[in-house]
Copies of this chain bind each other. A is one copy, B any other.
Amino acid sequence: MLKYVKEKIDKNHWLKANYGIEREVLRVNGNGELALSNHPAIFGDKINNPYITTDFSESQIEMITPVFDNVEDVYKFMNSLYDIVTEEIGDEYLWPQSMTCLIYDENKIPIAKYNKNKKGKEAEEYRKKLIEKYGKKKQLISGIHYNFSFNERLIKKLYKQLKKEKESYESFKNNIYLKITRNYLRYRWLIIYLLGASPVLHDTYISNNNYEFEEISHKTFSNNKAVSYRNGKNGYRNKIDFLPNYNSVEEYVESLKNFISEGVIDSHKELYSQIRLKPKNNENFFDSLLNDGINYLEYRSIDINPFEKSGISLDDLYFIQVFNIYLLLKEESSYMEWQKEALENQNIISNFGQENVQLKKDGKCISRNDWALEILKDINNINDELNLERKDAVDLMIKKVKNTELTYSYRILKKIKEEGYVKGFLSLSKEYKENAYNNRFKFEVYEDLELSTQILIKEAIKRGIKFSIIDRNDNFISLEKDKKIEYIKQATKTSKDNYSSVLIMENKVVTKKVLENNNINVPKGNEFISLDEAISMMDEFIDKPIVVKPKSTNFGIGISIFTEKYGKEDLVSALKMAFKHDTTVLVEEFIKGKEYRFLVINDEVVGVLHRVPANVVGDGVNNINTLVKIKNQDPLRGYHYRTPLEKINLDENAKLFLKQQNKDFTYVPKKDEVVYLRENSNISTGGDSIDYTDDIPEIFKNIAVKSVKAVNAKICGVDMILEDYKDENSLYAIIELNFNPAIHIHSYPYKGIERKIAEKILKLLEFI
């Protein structure tokens, strides 16, 4: 089959597929015991939050990624979901492993609580039935569900190449997924070997130790060979082993219906198979499968990988990408008893896979290593032929086959032997929790978006508001909940602001006129449309402190400030420079004082910020070089606007600036001595942002709100100069209104309280 397709299909088509994962995880307290607290209310209604919900137990969180066309984003998204969740569970932790945490009393396991509506009642009923049949404890075993389908374009291309006579597209597509399913079942033992990560059990799980285990650590048991108890007979499995018919969708549906009518399972949901065929409409499972065909596949063999915050590694995701294609291309054997054999292989690998066990292949014995290397060789071949660039991931798997010590199961066994069950696992949870805190300002999968947008998306996801990236380059997203949809650009450009307000703010002259009309102080000034005109009026302002600036440019470009004595020539050259940037130039009085950014959302000042130039504060011991290094370690500091603050760069400018103070980088500032390293206070050159929200008198906040009301805006950054912020009678002037204020500077300042700005925006948008 490979030879038919390799010429015709681009690499992108093979790998650009539809990927998504779900991960279950238990909340535990600091002792590794199941948390008995409620699911955090901030995650909203469990039934409607598409990202964060509960599974069987109230303490068992389920995190769900959206569908992505690449696995990197899936990986990063799951990491971010982890960050969101662990940040919201107080002093609890997320248990980083498939098998259960400490459970001293099975009866106390809280089942998930729901609203008392129809859906909620159904969910509770379903759980009660499960308890009767399987008990509560087994329900807490957690895993990764991997959802996958090929890109429709690929299937269409394959159809063109490979369809049988008179075969419909729908049937062709079903057959592709059925073949993958059968092959997945055949080769699932390899996935379990490579990704298996549940080789130890705690005493509170195996209440009836039947002496097949050794106590490898205090109250912790293993047979020292297991790869995945979760996938073994101690895992969460049906009472009997079902072998549904995977020859066609019709036969599959029929076999499932038979199981139900025989009363061995209650519904298709109770079939705990290693792979599931998924229809378009899950609510109407059988009909949709028959009518719409197989929509995607769900792989259910994957354990939680404790060494990954997300629970699955990117290398494993890369490997499964090629593995999927192998499953599609690999010819099937005609061996009749393949399902039983595959089940047997699953059991052997799960319970004893750390040894080079003997498996059965088409009725014949073959060692784990021989067969695994055979498969991996095939996969590498496919990778090469199709130019998939996944050789590294495949080679890593080859190493894991050759050297069991590289497997997760071996490493876990070792770690738990050394550290114990609770400490061994919880140390990882703690590490991830700290990592989440250090990541709190960003949303990794969208690290290319502006920080403000990342923060807003994160807040939306937390609250179960569905988001879509409408245009990634433009930071254009939509948020959707309960049939209400809002389109938002750059976090603060929303439907709540009217266009006219924005246009007023966009134009400095118009802003000033409107503010003046509303009796709000603005720097007095003149507007000139030609250099000659400006020069002819010069004697009106030549002796005053002034600012010369182009009308519409931003970021300080083309602006000159004259506060000291200056000459006519200085002014003329400043005017000339300003006219290079705009056809209209403003000459405004210079207002003495410090500049504060008031962020106003929905007529409320939600943050006040002041920026100071890059600086270090002495400790009497370290020199400037070292002090900068220490300051730069703050995770809020990074490069290129990826973080709320920028790392301080001791460059030529800093050197010159220090030289003016008769200092250099080796100077050791006295304790508490502040040494400035720049003149400008831009965050982009290492400046500090300092929150003043609680320090600024009400009167100035009211002025900020009044200014924003004057232009009829809902989200607005007000730049106000205050001569002395502590003095209620201080002179003030509004120098600019910004319709696209950054929110991250208030959310994550260098000093002061982190303000929940994203929440305010979601409130303005009436999502919460």
Instruction: Assess whether A471 is in contact with B12, with CB atoms less than 8 Å apart.
Output: no
Query: Is A69 an interface residue, CB under 8 A from the partner?
Result: no
Query: Is A488 an interface residue, CB under 8 A from the partner?
Result: yes
Quick one: CB contact mask for A562-602 with B, threshold 8 Å, 1 for yes? 00000000000000000000011000000000000000000
Instruction: Assess whether A583 is in contact with B473, with CB atoms less than 8 Å apart.
Output: yes
Instruction: Assess whether B712 is in contact with A476, with CB atoms less than 8 Å apart.
Output: no
Q: With A and B bound together, what is the CA distance between A486 and B529 in angstroms?
A: 26
Interface size band for A: 35 or more
Instruction: Assess whether B712 is in contact with A509, with CB atoms less than 8 Å apart.
Output: no
Residue of B nearest to A499 (CB): B497
Quick one: CB contact mask for A147-163 with B, threshold 8 Å, 1 for yes? 00000010000000000
Instruction: Assess whether B712 is in contact with A495, with CB atoms less than 8 Å apart.
Output: yes
Quick one: CB contact mask for A465-504 with B, threshold 8 Å, 1 for yes? 0000011011010000000001111000111111111111
Instruction: Determine how many copies of this chain the complex contains.
Output: 2
Query: Is A670 an interface residue, CB under 8 A from the partner?
Result: no
A interface: dominant SS: mixed
Instruction: Assess whether B501 is in contact with A471, with CB atoms less than 8 Å apart.
Output: no
Query: Is A513 an interface residue, CB under 8 A from the partner?
Result: yes
Instruction: Assess whether A500 is in contact with B488, with CB atoms less than 8 Å apart.
Output: yes
Quick one: CB contact mask for A517-539 with B, threshold 8 Å, 1 for yes? 00000000000010000001000
Cβ distance A505 to chain B, nearest Cβ, rounded Å: 10
Q: With A and B bound together, what is the CA distance between A503 and B513 in angstroms?
A: 26
Cβ distance A279 to chain B, nearest Cβ, rounded Å: 23
Cβ distance A764 to chain B, nearest Cβ, rounded Å: 12
Question: Which residues of chain B are within 8 angstroms of A171 by Cβ–Cβ distance?
Answer: none
Question: Which residues of chain B are within 8 angstroms of A496 by Cβ–Cβ distance?
Answer: 498
Instruction: Assess whether A500 is in contact with B504, with CB atoms less than 8 Å apart.
Output: no
Q: With A and B bound together, what is the CA distance between A540 and B8 in angstroms?
A: 12
Question: Which residues of chain B are within 8 angstroms of A470 by Cβ–Cβ distance?
Answer: 509-510, 513-514
Q: With A and B bound together, what is the CA distance between A474 and B551 in angstroms?
A: 12
Query: Is A258 an interface residue, CB under 8 A from the partner?
Result: no
Instruction: Assess whether B494 is in contact with A495, with CB atoms less than 8 Å apart.
Output: no
Q: A488-B500, A495-B498 are in contact. Are A476 and B507 (CB under 8 A)?
A: yes
Cβ distance A302 to chain B, nearest Cβ, rounded Å: 32
Cβ distance A471 to chain B, nearest Cβ, rounded Å: 5
Question: Which residues of chain B are within 8 angstroms of A739 by Cβ–Cβ distance?
Answer: 499
Question: Which residues of chain B are within 8 angstroms of A712 by Cβ–Cβ distance?
Answer: 495
Query: Is A10 an interface residue, CB under 8 A from the partner?
Result: yes
Instruction: Assess whether A487 is in contact with B504, with CB atoms less than 8 Å apart.
Output: yes
Instruction: Assess whether A487 is in contact with B510, with CB atoms less than 8 Å apart.
Output: yes
Instruction: Assess whether A507 is in contact with B471, with CB atoms less than 8 Å apart.
Output: yes
Which single member of B493, B513, B583 contacts A499 (CB below 8 Å)? B493
Residue of B nearest to A500 (CB): B495
Instruction: Assess whether A487 is in contact with B500, with CB atoms less than 8 Å apart.
Output: yes
Instruction: Assess whether A502 is in contact with B500, with CB atoms less than 8 Å apart.
Output: no
Instruction: Assess whether A509 is in contact with B10, with CB atoms less than 8 Å apart.
Output: no
Question: Which residues of chain B are within 8 angstroms of A494 by Cβ–Cβ distance?
Answer: 498-500
Q: With A and B bound together, what is the CA distance between A585 and B497 in angstroms?
A: 30
Residue of B nearest to A529 (CB): B473
Q: With A and B bound together, what is the CA distance between A507 and B473 in angstroms?
A: 11
Question: Which residues of chain B are within 8 angstroms of A471 by Cβ–Cβ distance?
Answer: 507, 509-510
Question: Which residues of chain B are within 8 angstroms of A497 by Cβ–Cβ distance?
Answer: 498-500
Q: Which of A195-233 contact B (CB under 8 A)?
A: none
Q: Which of A494, A498, A499 has the most CB of B within 10 A?
A: A499
Q: A474-B510, A499-B498, A503-B476 are in contact. Are A12 and B536 (CB under 8 A)?
A: yes
Q: With A and B bound together, what is the CA distance between A698 and B558 in angstroms?
A: 53
Q: A471-B509, A474-B510, A507-B471 are in contact. Are A493 and B500 (CB under 8 A)?
A: yes
Instruction: Assess whether A500 is in contact with B486, with CB atoms less than 8 Å apart.
Output: yes
Instruction: Assess whether B10 is in contact with A474, with CB atoms less than 8 Å apart.
Output: no
Q: With A and B bound together, what is the CA distance between A498 and B493 in angstroms?
A: 10
Instruction: Assess whether A498 is in contact with B498, with CB atoms less than 8 Å apart.
Output: yes
Quick one: CB contact mask for A22-51 with B, threshold 8 Å, 1 for yes? 000000000000000000000000000000
Question: Which residues of chain B are within 8 angstroms of A509 by Cβ–Cβ distance?
Answer: 470-471
Residue of B nearest to A536 (CB): B10
Question: Which residues of chain B are within 8 angstroms of A584 by Cβ–Cβ distance?
Answer: 473
Which single member of B10, B493, B500, B510 contacts A503 (CB below 8 Å)? B493
Question: Which residues of chain B are within 8 angstroms of A514 by Cβ–Cβ distance?
Answer: 470, 487
Q: List 26 A-B contacts (CB under 8 A).
A: A12-B536, A470-B510, A471-B509, A471-B510, A473-B529, A473-B583, A474-B503, A474-B510, A476-B503, A476-B507, A487-B501, A487-B503, A487-B504, A487-B510, A487-B514, A489-B503, A493-B499, A493-B500, A493-B503, A494-B499, A495-B499, A495-B500, A498-B498, A499-B499, A499-B501, A499-B502
The 6 closest A-B pairs by CB, nearest first: A495-B500, A495-B498, A497-B499, A487-B500, A489-B503, A470-B510
Which A residues contact B (CB, under 8 angstroms)? 10, 12, 153, 470-471, 473-474, 476, 486-489, 493-504, 507, 509-510, 513-514, 529, 536, 540, 583-584, 712, 739
Known: A12-B536, A471-B510, A497-B499. 5 other contacts (CB 8 A): A471-B507, A471-B509, A474-B503, A496-B498, A498-B498
